[in-house]
Chain A
Amino acid sequence: MSSNLKYSKTHEWVDFIAPNRVRIGLSDYAQESMGDLVFVTLPEVGQEVSVGDVIGDVESVKAVSDLYSPVSGVVVAVNEDLEDQPELINEEPYSAWLFEIDQVTDQVELLDQAAYEAFCEEEG
């Protein structure tokens, strides 16, 4: 878990790679509780998204979970490698980013690492 990252309560990690641009992935806690991932549906590049929008999903052998956008903005990149290799998320959740959003205007309440760990513990 990198200390630069912020976390949403819906278990996405958010990395501000530029002032208005974020890279988003699935937290280690989320991939661990989902189990082996078998499919990932990602948003489309160019798609405008608002805070809290369902913009994709991840599927494991147990269940399907929605991916929520923790920010408002425009999708500018998606990690296409995941379409063939969803297991990358299980292997290295903090390298296997899902998508990037630019022109960020709004964001959900984001937690720092300690607060997120406490939140997961509570949900536990």
Chain B
Amino acid sequence: MQLSFEKSVAGRRTYMLPAPDVPKYELPAELRRTLELPLPEMGEPDINRHYSALERRSFGVNDGPYPLGSCTMKYNPIVNDQLASLPGFTQIHPLQEIDTVQGCLQALVEAEKFLAAVTGMDRMTFQPAAGAHGEFTALLMVKAYHEDRGDSERTQIIVPDSAHGTNPASAAMAGFETVNIPSNEAGGVDLEGLKKVLGPKTAGLMLTNPNTLGIFDPNIEEITALVHEAGGLNYYDGANLNAVMGVARPGDMGFDLVHLNLHKTFSTPHGGGGPGSGPVGCKAFLAKYLPNDMPIARKGEDGEDVYDLEVPEKTIGRVRSFYGNFLVTLKAYAYALRLGKAGIREAALTAVLNANYMAEGLKDYYDISVPGPYMHEFVLTIEPLRQEYGITAMDIAKAIQEKRIHPPTMYFPLNVKEALMVEPTETESRETLDMMIEALREIRSRVDSDPESLRQAPRTTVIGRPDETTAARNPILRYTEPEAE
């Protein structure tokens, strides 16, 4: 397919500007570009066809199920976008007078109240623009907390080996040293391993619960208590909150801080459709370190709520401009309001039911990393098939594409060999779950009977197996015009 740059025809336009009715003003020479901007020039029909062609070559949640483990690719109701598109929310400026944006601040304060209640936290900031940014923000707060108490020797963040790669990365970005601890056989935190690394250097623990194997750690209260006894803080990575929202709260499990991925759990668009949002919640004793500013409600002279902004006493400062991705917060809040307390709980229960339904349908066909029951996701290991037939997780993932199903997360978590991590989410119907189970069973039958068809998959997509190695070693990230001959 030609790039838009290659389709460009010099001088082609999609608009005709009226003649200017004000005097022409020439910019000073030093402010003017000396080179033309090398942008593609196309007519409107060609632009539309170009993007429609790109859309046909891609795959999204509107094309089929998207069981990408740990990403919670649930369907995002359109009503959330409609509400967030209301002009009262979009036609504003972050620097306009506070008394003219009371409704927007009210929405932020109410969203904070709702999500703090779901997580068992006392306060929440919406500034972080994504999950990893939330992790980073929370770790800066952990650092501020210890330093504020004169406890400057706490330099280590403990991370289990099943953690998302962003955890150690965020810890390093925040200036901590990461200490890895192993998982036990059931896939949870190894308590003895944890005890060994706890000590006066422990700043905190980062934990995803349920973890990436889809297991809710039965020792969670003991784990968080051990970290507290050692003087550290407990940080909850909210990547997998979808499994427990409305059922169990990180705040009740002993966590002091949490981040959420609104683009996962609270149904705002994800990936290329973003932007994301990674709000951070904390217990009251950490609230003074939150980023500035925090929207708050107070009683006005007539007893009505008045909304304002407040700088926390020992704030870590800003982590992003203004109020984060405000419209994403709104979409999440719209989702939460429509579901309500009971609906949030039902969504989690259904997500868990769907994952277990699929695991049950597949357990006689594939090996699953640890015994169930599972929470919102489970991890298949293709390692036995690789050893016996030379079929890899990559082959299975590619064969799934031929069935118009997005592949599961591959080669993650790292503690499972040839991993395929499946998270169906609550928004898939029983018919769709049955279709996915049937597709994976059919693929399994070909491992013995026709392995070559799996090695050649996908045979129905425009691009089959891109050369990832060359792409990573020599990435071409921008278009350059071919040299004139």
B2 within 8 A of A: no
Instruction: Give, as a whole number of angstroms, the nearest-CB distance from B185 to chain A.
Output: 16
B472 within 8 A of A: yes
Segment among A23-31, A56-64, A95-103, A105-113 that sits at the interface with chain B: A56-64
Contact B411 A63 (CB under 8 A): yes
Contact A38 B469 (CB under 8 A): yes
A12 within 8 A of B: no
Contact A61 B472 (CB under 8 A): yes
B414 within 8 A of A: yes
Known: A62-B411, A63-B411, A63-B414. A36 touches B469 (CB 8 A): yes
Residue of B nearest to A53 (CB): B177
Instruction: Give, as a whole number of angstroms, the nearest-CB distance from B469 to chain A.
Output: 4
Contact B165 A61 (CB under 8 A): no
CA distance A87 to B165 in the complex (A): 23
Residues of B within 8 A of A64 (CB): 165
Q: How large is the interface on A (under 10, 10 to 19, 20 to 34, 35 or more residues)?
A: under 10
B473 within 8 A of A: yes
Residue of A nearest to B412 (CB): A63
B468 within 8 A of A: yes
Instruction: Give, as a whole number of angstroms, the nearest-CB distance from B464 to chain A.
Output: 16
Contact B414 A38 (CB under 8 A): no
CA distance A106 to B15 in the complex (A): 73
Kindly identify, within residues 68 to 101 of chain A, every residue whose CB is under 8 Å from any CB belonging to chain B.
86-87
Contact A86 B473 (CB under 8 A): yes
CA distance A36 to B472 in the complex (A): 10
Contact A61 B468 (CB under 8 A): yes
CA distance A38 to B470 in the complex (A): 8
A16 within 8 A of B: no
CA distance A76 to B292 in the complex (A): 46
Fill in one digit per residue for B448-475: 1 if any A CB lies within 8 Å of its CB, else 0: 0000000000000000000011001100
Chain B residues proximal to chain A, CB less than 8 Å: 165, 411-412, 414, 468-469, 472-473
Chain A residues proximal to chain B, CB less than 8 Å: 36, 38-39, 61-64, 86-87
